[in-house]
Structure 1
């Protein structure tokens, strides 16, 4: 049985060698596989981790996902420093080099279109958070029992707390709309992602805006300046800028079909 190959990205040859700093998922070396005017960046991975059944189990493990995502991004970032590429989704796995060549064959048109459209472009992420309830209004769990005046004071504090939270959410909503609208005018494309929650958010507060923007590499400094200019120092809201990334959110490979991937 052919070994499994993890595929990180697709580019055009020549690559001039995958950077030596690129270490693949599981710590293995990274190499190119060329086929018919395209090039896939791959590394060998273990069947006990990436065959269809164990992979399905791993995808429920947030720690495993985080480790795999870091290794995936490390390779994509290293290769993206030397050439334009189309990043593939996390855990794209093919059965041997024949499966990789089949992937390149089946997706040849889309890969070429994406490489042309995304050349010289990077992705910037903008997230906006509103302070969570416990951050905006730490309150005792129950009202004091000293007397009527203490009870009234407690109710007043609760009312002020609720009003503070409502004002914070109003400011966050208004800022999210303004950020998205104005930043879209300084980008070639934008994507709105579902706000993150729970462990995926990995940050204090409630994620109100989760947007990605496609920007020409040479315009990145100006784009960062626009984000800073549009971010007021308001209490209760926080803006997080990440990037530059490979243009994951803008790689359109939705029409690929039976393409040599494990489980395809």
Structure 2
């Protein structure tokens, strides 16, 4: 009976440590496969040893053609992403980790070692930047404004108080009230974004601004800011406390802080010119 062909799935780059070896004894990855550390030997220009955290996966599921089909299968994709995340997060609690993108695979251990050696300098530099840091996410959500049409300054000032409003005027009043409420909430969001940036300037090493989430990811409330911050471990508590204090000044917003996470957003250098704070729709 032939043994099914396998590929090597790589989750992350890290530095081998004794405590990490002990964790990997019981850690399982995709398909409950054991996770191993695949180290490279030090180079002529560096004495640091790096390793891929990897496991074997079926070649039939992870070859190029199979992946194209699987990426259309949300159930399969969610299962793989969850296993990938669990491995990376577990490693992150014991060592500095550089997460790799989903479905990074190599033909075999030899090919993986070659790739690790070829990028040894880049990986080492990035791990040095991530040492003693953790990622936190900060999101701003708009709470739905009240749509009750209250009287607006200057609206029909000369009309009798007891005169019934026509359906057309009632509709216009409601639309105007909605517009005013929405503009006020967006103003709060802009102010909150400025406050968050000021807090991050005191506590964060790096920031990445992601696109706001929409649809099922965003939930029923509108997401207008979706930032990730790389926070030194000794600044994590002050950073979270400062955000909690700032959030109380913006009652019409929901400011959500998530983490600690492995530094997914900082696996590559942050863009030089992130976009600005949220703007109200014109």
Same fold? TM cut 0.5: yes
What residue is the counterpart of 1:136 in the other structure? 145
Higher RCO structure (Cα 8 Å, ≥6 apart):
1
Match of residue 175, structure 1, among 187, 192, 198: 192
After superposition, the Cα gap between the structure-2 partners of 1:235 and 1:64, relative to the gap in structure 1 and judged at 3 Å, is farther
CA deviation after TM superposition for structure 1 residue 223, in Å: 1.3
1:26 aligns with 2:36: no
Query: 1:102 is matched with which residue?
Result: 114
Structure-2 residue corresponding to 1:262:
none
Q: After TM superposition, what 4+ stretches of structure 1 lie above 4 angstroms from structure 2?
A: none
Q: CA separation in 2, counterparts of 1:152 and 1:220?
A: 53
The runs of 5 or more residues in structure 1 that have no matched partner are: 140-146, 255-264
Over the aligned positions, Cα root-mean-square deviation in angstroms equals 2.5
Deviation at 1:229, TM superposition (A): 1.5
**Alpha carbons 1:18, 1:30 under 8 Å: kept:** no
* Aligned equivalents of 1:204, 1:27: Cα separation in 2: 35
From 206, 209, 212, the equivalent of 1:192 is: 209
**Per-residue deviation, 1:13:** 2.1
| Contact 1:111–1:253 (Cα < 8 Å) also in 2 | no
CA drift of 1:21 comes to 5.3
In 2: Cα distance, 1:49 partner to 1:177 partner: 46
Question: Could you report, residue by residue, the CA deviation over 1:152-184 in whole angstroms, capped at 9, with x for unpaired residues?
Answer: 333322221221112112211221232134323
Measured after TM superposition, the shift of residue 100 of structure 1 is 1.5
CA distance in 2, matches of 1:51, 1:3: 9
Contact 2:192 2:250 in 1 (8 A): no
Where structure 2 has 5 or more consecutive residues not aligned to the other structure, the ranges are 42-48, 149-163, 271-282
Aligned pairs, how many?
244
Q: SS at 2:101's partner residue?
A: coil
Partner Cα separation in structure 2 for residue 210 and residue 169 of structure 1: 15
Aligned partners of 1:20 and 1:137: how far apart in 2? 55
| Distance 1:183-1:170 versus aligned 2 partners, 3 A rule | same
Larger Rg: 2
Please report the TM-score for the alignment, with normalisation by the length of structure 2.
0.77
Matches within 5 A, 1:34-183: 34-36=39-41, 37-131=49-143, 135-137=144-146, 149-183=166-200
